[in-house]
Amino acid sequence: MTLGRRDTESGPNLEHLLQNAVRTWQSGNIAGARIMVENVLENDKRNERAWLLMAKMANNEVDRRRYLETVLEINPRNTQARQLLNQLDSALKGTENSSMRIGIVLLVGIAIVLIAVVIIALVIA
């Protein structure tokens, strides 16, 4: 995965640091990469590539969504951020649908048990 090459607004040192962060992340050292990207963002809060990398390294969907939304605030035309956000939304809808199905199955199960209890009570009475 490459994030593209261009100098950041704060100069080539931040670009070099961001490139090192990508390599570090790709090698599996997420914590080290995160520190480097945070250093880039301390000096250039509008670095959309840094925010995008933060989104890809995020430990949870809440942070990932926040980072992707930040990318889109900086550049509403960032197609990669838009696609990743759409994937998050699709995954969330799938989870919601699964939860709804489980809820329906539980309600049907409870209804069957209640009907059985009523029938047994009527037979015994």
Q: Give the total number of structural domains in the chain.
A: 1
* pLDDT for position 35: 97
> Residue 30 sits in which domain range?
12-92
| Helix, strand, or coil (residue 8) | strand
Give mean pLDDT in consecutive 10-residue pieces for the chain, a chain of 125 residues: 44 90 97 97 97 96 96 97 92 66 82 90 85
DSSP, residue by residue, 34-67: HHHHHHHHHH-TT-HHHHHHHHHH-SSHHHHHHH
Q: Which of 62, 65, 58, 61 is nearest to 37 (CA)?
A: 58
In a domain, 72, yes or no: yes
CA atoms within 13 A on the CB side of 49: 19
* pLDDT for position 50: 98
Structure tokens at 47: 């670095």
In a domain, 98, yes or no: no
85/65 Cα distance (integer angstroms): 7
Q: Angle at Cα 116 formed by Cα 98 and Cα 110, nearest 5°?
A: 25
In a domain, 101, yes or no: no
In a domain, 115, yes or no: no
* pLDDT for position 8: 42
Query: CATH no. for residue 46?
Result: 1.25.40.10
In a domain, 3, yes or no: no
- Reported pTM: 0.65
Structure tokens at 44: 């250039």
* pLDDT for position 5: 41
In a domain, 125, yes or no: no
